[in-house]
Structure 1
Amino acid sequence: MNKYQELLNRQKSYFNTSITKSLEWRIGQLDRMAGMLKENMNEFYQTVSQDFKTAISEQVFEVNAPLGIIELVKSELKNWLKPIPAAVPKFLADAGYSGAIQRDPFGSTLIIGPFNGPILLLLYPAITAISAGNTVVLKTSVDTPATSALLDKLIPQYFEPEAVAVVSGGVEEVTELLKLPFDFIFFTGSARVGKIILRAAAEHLTPVVLELGGHNPAVIDETADIADAAKKIVWGATTWAGQFCASPGYAYVHESVAEEFVKEAKKAVVELYGDDPKNNPDYSSIINAGHVKRLAGLIDQSKVVAGGESSEAERYVAPTLLYPVAWEDKIMEDEIFGPILPILTYTNLDKAISNINNAPKPLATYVFSTDKTNTDKLLKSLSFGGGGVNIVNVQLFVATLPFGGVGSSGMGNYVGKFGFDSLTNPKSILISPAGAAIDHLYPPYTMDKLQALNNWFEY
């Protein structure tokens, strides 16, 4: 028996004691998580910056966002644990029957985190799983060795391994973990790896939440506040150097305002990062040289209107604007996951909607407009995980909104109550008065009994 099987067995045995189902246990574990973050905040900031240079605002989000969601969950958890009454057929209700739904944890949850948001996107799901009453095995990203090493050190100091454990390593470790019958798997990463996770989960019929990427559109119509839209979209596409799953992947601009949008977007790049983004402390680096090479290969220098520079040695790709871009261009084939913003134009909104819908479903979509008819049409016609109107990225940090994808951008939701529901099973209970007769269900069947069965469908 390998060490991962032993760890899983230990967690399953612990879960089977039912201790994790209590409100006290869940609050206690969340308090430990908050304590770990608060008492080591500066060290977390430093390790994230060590793994790849990040702006201080991004470091703050990494630590403070989980702290915020912990407080929200703690304030609501008692209510979430209450059984939910369910209606029953009228004749059963008249006879004293009642129905209830209990939210039941699954058991041991494997959480596989990404390199981007190495704290945030690992601990957000962990908070969700713990609040739902599950034990947790955290798999850190091999691409963020400093942050992973810190979690390797701190998790055992704050948690018992039967409750929360951490595993570091790369493909070999993930492969071994995926062979095991976890009760739930939560994965954040690419669609390519998501398919591998889903195949492995199918071997044990393990439920999953997959938070995957997507080529996210930002649609700017002719009524939009162009300066505002340009600055927000440029920020959204370049914060974390574009290594953010909900970032705008491309700007789709009505042709009548396209030139103005390009002008304002170029201005926004300088306002945000100055004339030397490489040496600006508020501009992040790319995770590794391999990703720099990949991103550089996507940049058509003939369409660069801002940026375009890169350095593998310095893990740098400049904030880059490409215009005009067509759907057939290489940059539009897949999620970019870097600080490059292609700018496309449209003339007809229905055609724009058709083009977006013919592409894989995105994780996020953003609409910039002051026309309610256009806005409503876009929101109703497009399929996406979540998004915003006249704002980008920020929806991920609103704890009362679910976060998740659809189609190739993922399945399942988390954050707050939506995450609690995803990581629990709705266990249905029908409660009968003791000794209540169900003679009409017993054979032999008569016409009177069959007629009585019709009552099952009256509420």
Structure 2
Amino acid sequence: MAEYKAMLQRQREYFRTGETKSVEFRVRQLERMAKWIQDNEEDIMDALKGDLHKSPFEAYATEIGIVKEEIRYTLKHIRSWARPKRVPTPVTQFPSKSFIYPEPYGVALIMSPWNYPFQLTIAPLVGALSAGNCAVVKPSAYSARTSALIARMIGELFPDKYVSVILGGRKENEALLNEKFDYIFFTGSVNVGRYVMEKASAHLTPVSLELGGKSPCIVDETADISLAAKRIVWGKFLNCGQTCVAPDYIFVQKNVKEKLLRQMEKQIRKMYGKDPCRNEEYPKMINEKHFERVLGLIRDAHVVCGGGSRKETLQIEPTILDQVTWEHPVMREEIFGPVLPVLTFYDLKEAAAQISARPRPLALYFFTRDRQREAWVLKHLSYGGGCINDTVVHLATSHMPFGGVGDSGMGGYHGKASFDTFTHQKSIMKKSGLIDIPVRYAPFKKKLDLLKKIQ
């Protein structure tokens, strides 16, 4: 679209002025963003309530609070991150000095999903702006209220030559991906992630892909079963199961399965009541399409808890499935809803082998009190990140990068990792003109022995 080309041209021209590279400029923009969020918390919560029926507590804990912490952490460290860093120089280059200069890529495209529409849009934007880039933000059409609020927020904070918001659906996504950006940050499904990478390759544009997959939760016989049940139920049914790092299925050791099932049923009743679909604090599915898709995964399955739904509110009860195999429909795709299938294992290596035979997941959770088993799982299984004796919370920190591996994505962000993601590390060696050692110049007769001694 001609308007997108014009928008990108304005951003490129503004970026070339160098204004966004000033650290003081970046700090001011982040401070203004933090103040806007603080002043408009109620509006953000209302938008999230309208899109996903999130309670104020859940909206703050999983969206607003995480973004505020990202900004706070970035403001605390940005000056040291952006400073050129002296590094050692090989003796073969004497006399000289070596430096790494962090510099922004230029114009970044941030494409965000609908499940955590505020957090998963603004947190990457914090990284892009802290690194000194301009940005084009494309929020999801499914979370229309939050996307409109983000457009209002960006419009009130920044000129569009600095940050722009594009609303719309597939047509707009396609048009944007046909343009050349300097960096693309995408959060969404594996299939769309492949398409984004394919389109980026036409321009040799670097990408971060925050995807998903079937994240396992292993519970062994040594685990604190009641605590495991509480933390699994919390992590799985948060946001009505629409969380990329939610436990997608349980792998429980055979001799503690029944106890775990009973405890999870107990925790579901305790957290959501006897009729979760009439609980004002229980979120909903994003739209009818996804509501029907998830219900289809329950049909003909062995339901041990839940299974009910309420179409008028697009809510599905927290549901646990037993007697599940890898051939069942629920195990063939990422669930992304409040359905939790349970598989069993006898030996930990058996479970690990089955997990390893499938695409590497975005997250893995392991409940155990055996440190040797913990160490074995950490060493032998590959996945984006995860927790020992908890679920989901590993992403709620600015001190560690969050991201996937293999089919679950590439690249990481949060805290310094966000700054690094949107930054090119420029390597510079400054050579002295006082001495010019002749050994490197031709002719090379009888110089090889000397080279081997000094290199």
TM range (shorter): over 0.9
In the alignment, structure 1 residue 26 sits paired with structure 2 residue 26:
yes
Partner of 1:367: 366
In the alignment, structure 1 residue 85 sits paired with structure 2 residue 86:
yes
Distance 1:58 1:384 in 2: 26
State which drifts further: 20-29 or 168-177: 20-29
User: Is the Cα contact below 8 Å between 2:277 and 2:317 reproduced in 1?
Assistant: yes
Shift of 1:302: 4.3
Q: TM-score, normalised by structure 1?
A: 0.96
Partner of 1:205: 204
User: Is the Cα contact below 8 Å between 2:230 and 2:267 reproduced in 1?
Assistant: yes
Partner of 2:101: 102
User: Is the Cα contact below 8 Å between 1:289 and 1:313 reproduced in 2?
Assistant: no
Distance 2:229 2:28 in 1: 45
Partner of 2:357: 358
Partner of 1:453: 451
Partner of 2:169: 170
SS at match of 2:298: coil
Distance 2:178 2:437 in 1: 46
- Structure 2 residue runs without a partner (length 5+): none
Shift of 1:91: 4.0
In the alignment, structure 1 residue 295 sits paired with structure 2 residue 264:
no
- Alignment map for 1:371-410 (pairs within 5 Å): 371-410=370-409
Shift of 1:118: 0.7
- The Cα offsets for residues 46-68 of structure 1, whole Å up to 9 and x where unpaired, read as 01111121122221132121111
- Alignment coverage as a number of residue pairs: 454
- Alignment map for 1:22-421 (pairs within 5 Å): 22-60=22-60, 61-92=62-93, 95-421=94-420
SS at match of 2:335: coil
Distance 1:386 1:243 in 2: 18
State which drifts further: 178-187 or 57-66: 57-66
Distance 2:386 2:435 in 1: 51
- The Cα offsets for residues 326-366 of structure 1, whole Å up to 9 and x where unpaired, read as 22221111210001111111001111100001111110001
Distance 1:290 1:25 in 2: 44
Distance 2:454 2:366 in 1: 47
Structure 2: which amino acid aligns with 1:79?
Answer: S
Structure 2: which amino acid aligns with 1:347?
Answer: Y
State which drifts further: 300-309 or 352-361: 300-309
User: Is the Cα contact below 8 Å between 1:234 and 1:341 reproduced in 2?
Assistant: no
Structure 1: which amino acid aligns with 2:385?
Answer: G
Structure 1: which amino acid aligns with 2:187?
Answer: T
Partner of 2:12: 12
User: Is the Cα contact below 8 Å between 1:365 and 1:387 reproduced in 2?
Assistant: yes
User: Is the Cα contact below 8 Å between 1:91 and 1:455 reproduced in 2?
Assistant: no
Shift of 1:239: 0.5
Q: TM-score, normalised by structure 2?
A: 0.97
- The Cα offsets for residues 67-116 of structure 1, whole Å up to 9 and x where unpaired, read as 11100001011111122332222243xx3312221222111000001001
User: Is the Cα contact below 8 Å between 2:52 and 2:239 reproduced in 1?
Assistant: no
SS at match of 2:382: coil
Distance 1:190 1:302 in 2: 25
- The Cα offsets for residues 368-417 of structure 1, whole Å up to 9 and x where unpaired, read as 00100011111111111110111111111111011000011100000011
SS at match of 1:101: strand
- The Cα offsets for residues 292-333 of structure 1, whole Å up to 9 and x where unpaired, read as 110011114441000111233321111000012222221111
- The Cα offsets for residues 228-263 of structure 1, whole Å up to 9 and x where unpaired, read as 001111111101001011111011101010110001
- Distance change (3 Å), C-alpha of 1:312 and 1:451: farther
Structure 2: which amino acid aligns with 1:71?
Answer: R
Structure 2: which amino acid aligns with 1:166?
Answer: V
Distance 1:132 1:438 in 2: 38
- Distance change (3 Å), C-alpha of 1:257 and 1:334: same
- The Cα offsets for residues 136-156 of structure 1, whole Å up to 9 and x where unpaired, read as 111011001111122222211
- Distance change (3 Å), C-alpha of 1:392 and 1:456: farther
Distance 2:324 2:375 in 1: 26
Distance 1:456 1:175 in 2: 55
Distance 2:360 2:55 in 1: 30
User: Is the Cα contact below 8 Å between 1:292 and 1:311 reproduced in 2?
Assistant: no
- Distance change (3 Å), C-alpha of 1:156 and 1:455: farther
SS at match of 1:12: helix
Percent sequence identity is 39
